[in-house]
Amino acid sequence: MFGSGRGTLLLELVDDVAWATAARHANGHAVTVTVEHMIFKNPTWAGDVVTAFAQVEGTGRTSMDIGVYVTAQRGASERVPVAEAHLVFVAVDSEGNPRTVPGVYPETEAEYAAARAVEIRREHRKTLRGALEQAR
Ligand SMILES: CC(C)(COP(=O)(O)OP(=O)(O)OC[C@H]1O[C@@H](n2cnc3c(N)ncnc32)[C@H](O)[C@@H]1OP(=O)(O)O)[C@@H](O)C(=O)NCCC(=O)NCCS
C-alpha cells in the first residue's frame, strides 16, 4: 500500500504513535480530538523503512498537542522526511471525562520552537472557530 499515493497507512501510523505518546505523558488513556496540519512531503515505496517520531509539544489543562515526524529510508540512501502531522489529544478517565495532564517544559532551542508553534496553532484554531461561527 505504501507508494500507492494514498495516505491511509501513514495516517494510521501517525495516530498510533501520537496516541502512545499522549497516553504515556498522561499516564493513562487519551483520545484524539483533532488531526490537523498533516503534510505528505515525499512518497514512500514498498521496502522503505518508515520511522515515526512523536513528542508532546504543548499542553493545556486536559489537552496535549502532539507533533509527529515520519521519515523513510530506501536501501542505503539517506533518510528523507515523508510526513508531518499535528494532533490534539485529551486525557480521559474511565468514564471518558477529560482529566488534567502534566505540563511540558521546553529546554532545548528546538523544544522552544515547537512550543511557539503550538501557541500559533492554538491562536489559529481559536480565530478559525470564531470566523466559522460568524459565517453560519
Ligand atoms: C475529547 C472529549 C472528551 C472532549 O470533551 P469536551 O466535553 O469537549 O471537553 P472540554 O470542552 O472540557 O474540552 C477538553 C479539552 O479538549 C479541547 N478541545 C475540545 N475540542 C477541541 C478541538 N476541536 N480542537 C482542539 N482542542 C479541543 C479543549 O480545548 C480542552 O482542552 P484544555 O482542557 O487543555 O483547555 C470529547 O469531545 C470526546 O470524547 N470526543 C471523542 C474522542 C474520540 O473518540 N476520539 C477517537 C476518534 S476514533
Q: Which portions of the chain are predicted below pLDDT 50?
A: 1
Q: What is the pLDDT of residue 77?
A: 87
Q: What is the pLDDT of residue 37?
A: 85
> Residues with Cβ within 6 A of ligand 1?
31-34, 60-63, 88, 90, 92, 96, 98, 125
Residue spans per domain, the chain: 7-104
Q: What is the pLDDT of residue 3?
A: 63
Q: What is the pLDDT of residue 5?
A: 65
Using the atom order of ligand 1, give the atom closest to the CA of residue 64.
34
Q: What is the pLDDT of residue 128?
A: 95
Sheet with 30-40, edge to edge strand ranges: 30-40, 80-91, 63-73, 49-59
> Domain 7-104 carries which CATH code?
3.10.129.10
Contact assessment for residue 83 and residue 14, using Cβ atoms and an 8 Å cutoff: yes
